[in-house]
Structure 1
Amino acid sequence: MPTTSGTAGYRSDAKHRALLRTAHDVAEDLAADAIGRDQAGRQPIDEKVRLREAGLLAALTPPRPGRGADWRTGCAVIREIATADSSVGDVLARHYVHTWSGRFYASRHQATSLEEASVREQWLWTGAVRTPAPDDTDGPDLALRPRNNGYVLNGRRFVDAAVAVADQIVVDAVCVVTGDVLVVRIPPSARGVTIEPAHDRLGQRVAGAGEVVLDRVAIAPGQVLGRGPHDEESTAPFTALAEPALRLALCHVGLGIVEGALTETRDLSRGGRAHRLPGEDPDLLLTYGELASAAQTATAVVDRATEVMAQALDTSTRLDAEEPAGVTALVATAETVTSKAALHITARVLELADAPGLDRFWRNARVLTAQRPIAHRLRSIGEHYLNGSHRAVAAAFR
């Protein structure tokens, strides 16, 4: 019997709830030893196993009939995990967005094949695809040289998460012969690939950041996803969503940090282990009211951007040239509000309680927001609002 729209909606809702239940269970598991793992600061090897065994790596891929997760559900899962451990939320956010790389850059057939392989093999994805910068005069850090069957790739690139444990790393590189920007995927186990993990990070210590060094790495034709844009003006509308999609997913990681910090501090206050007790200091209620309001404001802005992004991703090839700019401006607004809320709230909770590990929320928020200056985003938002510019809001897609 044909599936009615109501049945399809029910099934979608049921899948959404099931994924969130799984994410909640994984989050509880991660929360139990979050402080110890943060202090150890090791590569997320065990964390990858937890995500894979729970089925989240296969589940958080682009939606197709019978598999994958729609944008709203994927972001909800990321936020749930990030509330317990923002480093793992970071890993999952980058994984989910980079599994969309086939749709952003490749042909429909290649994207389908990649997504099927990712689900079947339960690949963990990461990457560092950069937005074209008009003032970049240093030349490409990754260079491709054609050979008889494919390319040879040389250079080095910093990757913000899962660099040593990922199964696929997505990067852009410049062909030294044609000048074309190509987006390629690299298995870290390939010959010529060396990983240099970042040690002693201030925050996001378990995310697994580091540098990938590429020395004459063979790139087969099937590893080339497609052409990247030379500049913002030449970016295809759907491809233009790639960078803001990652930034928005990371906003959900920031919301997870906020929620985790507030929840842990609230529990300390209720348990009588904070500097000030609710019954003894009425001003404490004012403080919590302020912090909760800031968190709810950030959540509302991010949720709106998430809904608009979901609609744009659903629209796919029917996007016009102007729509991605509006989405990107809204994402920049979400980033701005979330960054301010995360840094403010995680600093303030340290004044309310003094407990082991509470500082990790501020450290994680600081590292997560450091590479995206608020002033730069505000100027881009202002340009879009004032001039209706269709240029994308510039920021590194990492």
Structure 2
Amino acid sequence: MTTQISQSARIIQSEAQALQVADEFAQSIAQNALERDRDRILPYKDVEQFSQSGLWGMTVPKEYGGAGVSSDVLTRVVQRIAAADGNFGHIPQNHYYALEVLRVGATHEQKAFFYDQVLQGKRFGNALAEIGKKDFVRRTQLLKEAGGWFLDGRKFYCTGSLFAHWIPTLATAQDDDRLYLVFVPREAAGVTLTDDWDGFGQRVTGSGSVQFDRVKVEPYWVVPFSDSFDRPTTIGPYAQIIHAALDLGIGQGALEATLSFVREHSRPWIDAGVDTAAQDPLLLHEVGNVHVRLRAAQALLARAARFVDAAQFAPDEDSVAQASIAVAQAKALSTSASVLAGSKLFELAGTGATLAQHGLDRYWRNARVHTLHDPVRWKYHAVGNYVLNGARPPRHGAL
């Protein structure tokens, strides 16, 4: 299916408006979340409504016509939408990431062009990751030749690209061996998208593969990437805080589904001596446990957002390290809380909750798949090494 070209997306004017619009959109997508997941219906029309809502442009800086919302508001928006459907919380993740790469490393002319594209309603996907080798060498190449610049390679885990107008692609330049983020039009000659994502979670995020066969690119589509990690910038913690918000939102959705099912369907255990499951003392203990963990993760996420905003305002070695560690702390807890909420849903709601007609397994599946995005054990390592040894974490997209 060809991606629609948006023409007149709403432009978010304030943080309050962003949160209100997110609530409205979350309510609209929640209604058919079960059917989309069950039948793997790629939500082209819903994604178009998503970008038309203006939420995809809410982080565009004010000087370029956007609302420039804070990291806190961004994470709250992602949480609200992910609670309704984890897929929709995930689809624009790399779009926001690309906007941050532009903010940090693009020229004024590139920012003006691409920010305007986004405010019109255009969507960025991503083509960052590669598979098939045990190393992390990126083999997709940007070829600078006498006849023009060309892109060659293949990418996987390209979340959102099936719905995108532009596909930001990580490539190594043949002439200087540096990394660049190349913004490639989805309809460019030589671009092939394949819907081959078959993970058991996040099933309708448009996370297929993208093949580039000597795709001609314009120099102004190319943004330096390695340069933005040679100095302290917020690209890494900014990317990671969105992942943490997504995980937390899925967990919040799982808890809400648990509460609803227990109230309406579950029966108390025979030894509880109560009339309803909602009065079962051991069930109440476990609900409280899940709730506390999710609220703790939410508090850490809000704290991390303040560090990210501070580092964006004044980036240096210390502020970026502090932001990365704060986000790592939030990511560690949001991961465990989200997976716990999805698992406890069945333990507390009972056997009836496992019936396919309810589709409640989607919360655990989505949480389990997305939290594998990067190993949380390395978050604990980074935090421990920082608090014990004062070692700043490495600068890359996973911290």
TM normalised by structure 1 equals: 0.86
**Residue aligning to 1:361:** 363
Measure how far apart 1:55 and its partner are.
2.6
**Residue aligning to 2:75:** 75
Q: Distance in 2 between matches of 1:300 and 1:294?
A: 10
1:171-211 deviations in whole A, cap 9, x for unaligned? Answer: 22112222222221111211111112234321111111111
Report 1:151-170 matches (<5 A): 151-170=149-168
My pick for the range that moved more, 55-64 or 248-257, is 55-64
Task: Determine if contact 1:163/1:197 at 8 Å carries over to the other structure.
Answer: no
Report 1:1-398 matches (<5 A): 15-64=14-63, 66-70=65-69, 71-120=71-120, 122-129=121-128, 139-148=137-146, 150-229=148-227, 235-238=230-233, 241-273=234-266, 277-278=276-277, 281-313=280-312, 315=313, 318-353=314-349, 354-355=352-353, 356-392=358-394, 396=398
**Residue aligning to 2:8:** none
Unaligned segments of structure 2, at least 5 residues: 1-11, 270-275
Structure 1 residues 275 and 257, CA gap change in structure 2 (3 angstroms): farther
Q: Distance in 2 between matches of 1:146 and 1:375?
A: 40
SS in structure 1 opposite 2:374? coil
Q: Distance in 2 between matches of 1:395 and 1:380?
A: 14
1:366-395 deviations in whole A, cap 9, x for unaligned? Answer: 111113222222112222223322342656
Measure how far apart 1:280 and its partner are.
5.1
Q: Distance in 1 between matches of 2:62 and 2:363?
A: 32
Unaligned segments of structure 1, at least 5 residues: 1-12
**Residue aligning to 1:6:** none
Q: Distance in 1 between matches of 2:148 and 2:223?
A: 12
Task: Determine if contact 1:143/1:153 at 8 Å carries over to the other structure.
Answer: yes
1:140-165 deviations in whole A, cap 9, x for unaligned? Answer: 32111112364211111123411211
Q: Distance in 1 between matches of 2:300 and 2:330?
A: 6
Task: Determine if contact 2:201/2:369 at 8 Å carries over to the other structure.
Answer: yes
Measure how far apart 1:274 and its partner are.
5.7
Task: Determine if contact 1:160/1:207 at 8 Å carries over to the other structure.
Answer: no
Q: Distance in 2 between matches of 1:235 and 1:72?
A: 26
Task: Determine if contact 1:47/1:88 at 8 Å carries over to the other structure.
Answer: no
Task: Determine if contact 2:124/2:161 at 8 Å carries over to the other structure.
Answer: no
My pick for the range that moved more, 271-280 or 363-372, is 271-280
Measure how far apart 1:288 and its partner are.
0.9
Q: Distance in 1 between matches of 2:315 and 2:216?
A: 35
Q: Distance in 2 between matches of 1:110 and 1:382?
A: 39
1:292-332 deviations in whole A, cap 9, x for unaligned? Answer: 1111111111111011112222x1xx422232122112111
Q: Distance in 1 between matches of 2:82 and 2:397?
A: 22
Q: Distance in 2 between matches of 1:371 and 1:331?
A: 15
SS in structure 1 opposite 2:193? strand
1:79-107 deviations in whole A, cap 9, x for unaligned? Answer: 11111011001113332222222112212
Task: Determine if contact 1:183/1:228 at 8 Å carries over to the other structure.
Answer: no
Task: Determine if contact 2:166/2:185 at 8 Å carries over to the other structure.
Answer: yes
TM normalised by structure 2 equals: 0.86
Query: Percentage identity across aligned positions?
Result: 27
